[in-house]
Amino acid sequence: MKKLAVKSGYEKKCSILLTVTLLLITFCFLIFLASCAEVSLYSVDIKYEPVDTVRVSNEKVRELVFTVSKFNDLRQVDDKTTIGKVTKPDGTEILILPKFRRPSDAVTHAFQDYLSKTGYELSTETPEWNLQDDTIKKEWGNIVIGGNIHEFKVDCVKKWPVRKYTANVKLTVVFADVRKSKTRFKVNVESSPTIEDLRFSEEKIEEIINDALSAAIRKTFDNQETKQKIINMAEGTD
């Protein structure tokens, strides 16, 4: 009886071990199949990523109401819903698209998010604006911000042993006095980060395009010249 009990226990352990082994093999096979599956496109969430946020301190500026109009997409591309491509080792190209918003809407929302996070009073309006003074509307608060998108792209080249990610964001940002229906100044900004990594992921694509966009937004506002011009507009001394 004792030998039978020992034998039964041994067989039970072997059965459990065999089951676990088969599950592991199945799991690995599924991962392998997933890695081999064809991907038709990649999509990323475009947004402003804050870094060491400093809130606006000037009282008069904080009293102003800012309206961000929809940015105009002037990119020289055939399909303005796309923002780049992934190039595989065999030369095959897979398109990259924004996940939730079109590029112009994503850039506009990122500027709004920056203003909100840094303490500016933000209008709920998001009007269309062709950047002409005679089309400024009085209901747009005190300062309207608009602009043009000249470049907005992210690419990844898959080569062994590294993957190279590059992004480029180039914008013209226009600041206008709503009360006077007059453009006060323009800021041209560009950001072009590059990353090399052993791994490929959609998250890395998302990271580099958001880094480029966020850096361009900070370059627009986080310089003494822009800050002083906004203060001058608030004080009526421009």
According to the model, what pLDDT value does residue 3 have? 46
Residue 185: C-alpha distances to residues 81, 108, 162, 167, 182 (Å): 29, 18, 43, 27, 9
According to the model, what pLDDT value does residue 236 have? 80
pLDDT, tens only, 164-216: 999 999 999 999 999 999 999 999 999 999 999 999 999 999 999 999 999 99
- Is residue 7 located within the same domain as residue 67? no
Which structural domain range is residue 14 located in?
1-37
**Number of domains present in the structure of the chain:** 2
The Cα–Cα gap between 209 and 224 comes to: 26
Do residues 46 and 110 make contact, with C-beta atoms less than 8 angstroms apart?
A: yes
According to the model, what pLDDT value does residue 13 have? 58
Do residues 213 and 46 make contact, with C-beta atoms less than 8 angstroms apart?
A: yes
- Is residue 48 located within the same domain as residue 33? no
Mean pLDDT of 128-154: 97
pLDDT category of residue 26 using cuts at 50, 70 and 90: low
- Is residue 56 located within the same domain as residue 18? no
229 phi and psi, to 5 degrees? Answer: -65, -35
Q: Report the CATH number that the domain containing residue 155 is assigned in CATH.
A: 3.40.50.10610
DSSP string over the chain: -HHHHHHHHHHHHHHHHHHHHHHHHHHHHHHHHHHHS---EEEE------SS------HHHHTSEEEEPBPEE----S-TT--EEEE-TTS-EEEEEESSS-HHHHHHHHHHHHHHHTT-EE-S---B--S-GGG--GGG-SEEEEEEEEEEEEEEEE-SS-EEEEEEEEEEEEEEETTTTEEEEEEEEEE--EEEESS--HHHHHHHHHHHHHHHHHHHHSSHHHHHHHHHHHHT--
- Is residue 57 located within the same domain as residue 105? yes
Burial classification of residue 165, based on how many CB atoms lie within 10 Å of its CB (0-12 exposed, 13-18 middle, 19 or more buried)? buried
Q: Average pLDDT over the chain, rounded to whole?
A: 88
According to the model, what pLDDT value does residue 52 have? 80
- Is residue 3 located within the same domain as residue 120? no
- Is residue 24 located within the same domain as residue 84? no
- Is residue 16 located within the same domain as residue 91? no
pLDDT category of residue 151 using cuts at 50, 70 and 90: very high
* 136 token code pair: 């400024």
Percentage of residues of the chain with pLDDT beyond 70: 84
According to the model, what pLDDT value does residue 229 have? 95
Do residues 130 and 183 make contact, with C-beta atoms less than 8 angstroms apart?
A: no
- Is residue 62 located within the same domain as residue 33? no
Residues forming beta bridges with residue 170, ordered by sequence position: 151, 190
